[in-house]
Amino acid sequence: MKKHLFTLALLSIAAPLFTTNKPSYSAKPTQPNVLMIIIDDMNDWIDLLDENGPIRTPQLGRLASRGTLFTNAYCSSPACNPSRVSLLTGLRPGTSGVYGNKTNWRAALPSAVTIPQQFMQHGYHVAGAGKIFHHHLAGAFHDASAFHQFRAMPDPPDAPMPQQKLNQLAWYGSPNTDWGVYPADEQNHVDVRTVDYCIERLNEDHGKPLFLAAGIFRPHMPFFAPASAFTKYPEDQVTLPLLKEDDLNDIPTGGKKLLSAKKWFWDGMMKAEGRKPGSWEASVRAYQACATFADTQVGRLLDGLDQSGKAGNTIIVLCSDHGYHLGEKKHWEKFALWEKTTHIPMIVVAPNVTTPGSVCEHPVDLTAIYPTLNELCGFTTPYKLDGVSLVPLLKNVDATWKHPAVMTYGRGNHAVRKGPWRYISYADGTEELYNHQTDKAEHNNLAPQKENAAVIARLRKFLPKVEAKAASDLKKPKSISTK
């Protein structure tokens, strides 16, 4: 990929780790505003990252033209809760013990200062809407103390829900597995309401700098988007992922164990396909429509920011929480350590720091966002963060960078992405190795080949040295207001 995006733009832990003091600061008059946009489940099949990708994201391209696009950005964990906890606390799952979607992250990290709290303590007005923390059982996962103003995403998000599933296929008894044109009135879509709320906050005078978090739920399942999004993907022109029938033959026991835990997702899709041929294609089409609809909401946010007069003094950070499989390796959803589940879009716009339209190819992961914002805003780090600030790369995308991207899913299962290599080490000691120069789809596991032993030894040095025990799951969920 080219180093600049002008053409694209034109075309479209444990408690002792933390300090317990919570000092109060007054923000400097010149402090920048911050707009953080977190998209749910958007993978790398978008044209911003893959010139042959079928998913059109012109608004992400528009945003990238304002700052730095990281083409090799990765999640910390391919699941919503551990990924978002890592992003918002700056701590990897191996440090926090937050490995799963049901983990009570605040009980595991009682003294952690989340990014919104960090800005609140430094004199910012902090507002947000949508899915920022993990939304399921929202009252326990959401951190109300981190916001002055917040509009929670309803749980379920698509309220009022249809009287019945749009497809009546019921793969495995969950409304999350549905897809189709919904709602009839675009203004009732959960992400439209989230963005509306955020635009209102942008147009308010808070008397202090603003930190605003916008959580866009699509393309998370169910794949519901208005008709306007589906018209961009004609039914007779749907691009399906490449499915290699023997792709799992060289996957070791550790990978197969992870895969088997979520195998019912793909099995459910195949059952739906058997009952109604074309269901897989229809669902993939719906994912593409939802991803483009999410992109449209990013554009609305940018319009709102520009119209507010705050754009010239606003840092923008956009990322997805993790990637997504749509059938590759006979897998559906996330919950794996391959490229498709972990590779994400990430863009940073920092006025007077980033070069508009710049592209950074160094591998980075979501633990970098917390220290980056700290450095850009002149904050003192509240405790030792696991990530490294990206400011050197924001100033010069070709700066020396020795840090890999590291991903974790479940205790003992890790992936390292550095240069052309993806290395995966499982808890049972089995391994995978892929060379993206010759095998971007990760069809050929090179780990068993003796000539790759030196590469594996080099990459193993980057595996997390800390392996915290898994924190307890949430026991007593509760709800919060969605107003």
Catalytic residues: 80, 134
Here the tokens at position 126 are 């902090």
Q: Cα(241)–Cα(223) distance, rounded to whole angstroms?
A: 17
SS3 97: coil
Q: Is 52 exposed, middle or buried, given 0-12, 13-18 or 19+ CB atoms closer than 10 A? A: exposed
Q: Please, are residues 459 and 434 in contact by the beta-carbon 8 Å criterion?
A: no
Contacts of 460 (CB under 8 A, 6+ apart): 416, 423, 425
Alpha-carbon distances, residue 134 vs 77, 103, 403 (angstroms) = 13, 10, 28
Nearest to 351 by CA among 34, 128, 9: 34
Tokens 């007593």 locate to 476
E strands in 17-176: 33-39, 68-74, 125-130, 149-152
β-strands 68-74, 364-365 pairing? parallel
Intra-chain end-to-end CA distance of the chain, in Å: 43
Contacts of 239 (CB under 8 A, 6+ apart): 54, 284, 288
